[in-house]
């Protein structure tokens, strides 16, 4: 198979700008082939997480920097290599209705990849493949096949998309807000399927969301994005239970939890200082603990311990971490 030392997919200093607005800045991440993990990318709208997803899928080319597949630049791949890429990296999107062509039955989204990538040589074999995939996500084939998209619930449609991703035996699935348009009671099932895929079939998952709580439940590693840059990244238990970056802390305290203590409505501390244009940390204007240096220079990613990096001047230490070293922070040693 592929060389295990070359990362499956890698972003190197990838930047995407639209005019003067940076959607993603100097982002580096390596997804290894040998260590399938679930990485959550958490951020609010405008954080760059959607741009990140589209770059990983090759739908958008970076303005500068590179997107590499098996060590080769994604946008310079040959036809065959590109096909291999399309098989290896699959996607699950947010809207469980828009991804279905209303003209066809739901079978269409399953039979098309089987045909395109020649996964089966006979019709019977194809049928078996599809039914197995549906069962793997907890659906009964006889209840799904032959129906039109509007006849299934949102949760079922989304699970069919997971089944579809499964058919191609990818190494990586990029799930962009897969459950935000699904009822809360069904989210656990879908996320559970993803978790199962990771554990039983060794598929890496990139779970992109604004919902910190589900990210915590599902993922092993987490990257917190703020306005196109990484604020904090590392092992999910560390980042969520003991957040270091002021933005992460703000995010966590902003999530309303079911508990008898009601402190959520109390005014949060933190500045609403005017956003003066400066070259410093983007969070400085809202940061409750901003220092003068924060307005002057952008903090690089500092390594706090073996499993976490933070982009905040408060944690300045000798030997700051360069972005590409972020990969080794995850679920490794």
CA–CA dist 91, 58 (Å, integer): 11
Closer to other proteins by Cβ: residue 4 or 237: 237
Residues 6+ apart with CB under 8 A from 249: 243
Instruction: Choose between 110 and 321: whose C-beta lies nearer to other proteins.
Output: 110
For other proteins, the closer CB: 260 or 292:
260
Identify which of residues 73 and 264 has a Cβ nearer to other proteins in the complex: 264
Sequence-distant (6+) residues with CB within 8 A of 25 are 15, 48, 228, 229
The answer to whether 232 touches 244, Cβ cutoff 8 Å, is yes
- The CA distance from 5 to 168, in Å, is 23
Least distance in angstroms from the C-beta of 93 to other proteins: 6
Give the nearest distance from C-beta 112 to other proteins in angstroms. 6
Between 165 and 321, name the residue whose CB sits nearer to other proteins: 165
Is 36:200 a contact under the CB 8 Å cutoff?
A: no
- Least separation in angstroms between residue 286's CB and other proteins is 9
d(CA 256, CA 266): 12
Q: Please give the DSSP secondary-structure letter assigned to residue 159.
A: H
The H or E element containing residue 26 is: strand 21-31
- Give me the least distance between CB of 64 and other proteins, in Å please: 23
CB of 235 to other proteins, least distance (A): 10
Q: Which is nearer to other proteins, 254 or 296 (CB)?
A: 254
- Residue 330's CB: how many other CB atoms inside 10 A? 23
For the chain, the residue count is 333
Task: Tell me how far, at minimum, the Cβ of 194 lies from other proteins, in Å.
Answer: 9
Look at residue 283 and give its three-state secondary structure.
coil
H-run or E-run covering 10: strand 9-18
């Amino acid at each position: 198979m592929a060389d295990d030392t070359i990362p499956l997919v890698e972003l190197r200093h990838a930047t995407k700008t639209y005019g003067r607005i940076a959607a993603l800045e100097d982002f580096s991440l390596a997804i290894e082939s040998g260590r399938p993990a679930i990485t959550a990318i958490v951020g609010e709208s405008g954080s760059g997480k959607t741009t990140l997803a589209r770059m990983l899928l090759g739908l958008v080319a970076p303005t500068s920097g590179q997107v590499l597949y098996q060590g080769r630049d994604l946008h310079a791949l040959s036809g065959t290599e590109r096909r291999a890429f399309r098989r290896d990296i699959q996607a699950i999107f947010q809207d469980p209705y828009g991804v279905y062509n209303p003209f066809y039955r739901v079978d269409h989204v399953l039979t098309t990849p089987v045909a395109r990538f020649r996964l089966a040589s006979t019709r019977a074999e194809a049928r078996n493949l599809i039914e197995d995939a549906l069962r793997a996500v907890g659906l009964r084939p006889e209840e799904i096949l032959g129906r039109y998209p509007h006849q299934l619930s949102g949760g079922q449609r989304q699970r069919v998309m997971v089944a579809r991703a499964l058919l191609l035996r990818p190494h990586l699935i990029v799930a962009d807000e897969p459950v935000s348009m699904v009822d809360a009671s069904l989210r656990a099932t879908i996320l559970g399927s993803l978790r199962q895929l990771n554990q039983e079939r060794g598929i890496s998952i990139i779970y992109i969301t604004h919902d910190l709580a589900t990210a915590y439940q599902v993922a092993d590693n987490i990257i917190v994005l703020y306005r196109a840059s990484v604020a904090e990244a590392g092992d999910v238990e560390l980042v969520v239970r003991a957040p270091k970056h002021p933005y992460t802390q703000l995010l966590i305290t902003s999530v309303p939890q079911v508990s008898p203590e009601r402190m959520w409505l109390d005014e949060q501390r933190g500045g609403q200082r005017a956003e003066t244009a400066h070259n410093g940390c983007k969070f400085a204007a809202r940061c409750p603990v901003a220092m003068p240096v924060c307005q002057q220079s952008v903090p690089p990613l500092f390594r706090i311990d073996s499993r976490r990096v933070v982009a905040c001047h408060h944690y300045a230490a000798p030997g700051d971490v360069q972005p590409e070293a972020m990969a080794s922070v995850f679920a490794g040693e």
